[in-house]
Amino acid sequence: MPAARDWRDKFDYIIHDTNGIKGVKGEEEFPLSETEYKSLNPEHRDTDCGECTFIQDADTLFLFFVPRDTKEKATEEPVFVGNFTMPNRTNHSGFYVFKCKNCGEVCVDYLHGYTCEVIYISVATSARNVL
Residue 46 lies in a domain: no
CA-closest candidate to residue 94, choices 106, 117, 111: 111
Q: Rounded to an integer, what distance in angstroms lies between the CA atom of residue 70 and that of residue 3?
A: 45
pLDDT of residue 5: 56
Same domain for 33 and 59: no
Residue 47 lies in a domain: no
Query: What values do phi and psi take at 57, rounded to 5?
Result: -165, 175
Q: Give this prediction's pTM.
A: 0.66
pLDDT of residue 2: 41
Q: Rounded to an integer, what distance in angstroms lies between the CA atom of residue 118 and that of residue 130?
A: 6
- How many domains is the chain built from? 2
pLDDT of residue 56: 93
Same domain for 69 and 37: no
User: What residue ranges of the chain have pLDDT lower than 50?
Assistant: 1-4, 131
Same domain for 31 and 65: no
Domain region containing 80: 53-130
Same domain for 57 and 88: yes
Same domain for 111 and 91: yes
Same domain for 71 and 24: no
pLDDT of residue 34: 87
Residue 30 lies in a domain: yes
pLDDT of residue 101: 80
pLDDT of residue 6: 64
Same domain for 83 and 59: yes
Same domain for 82 and 29: no
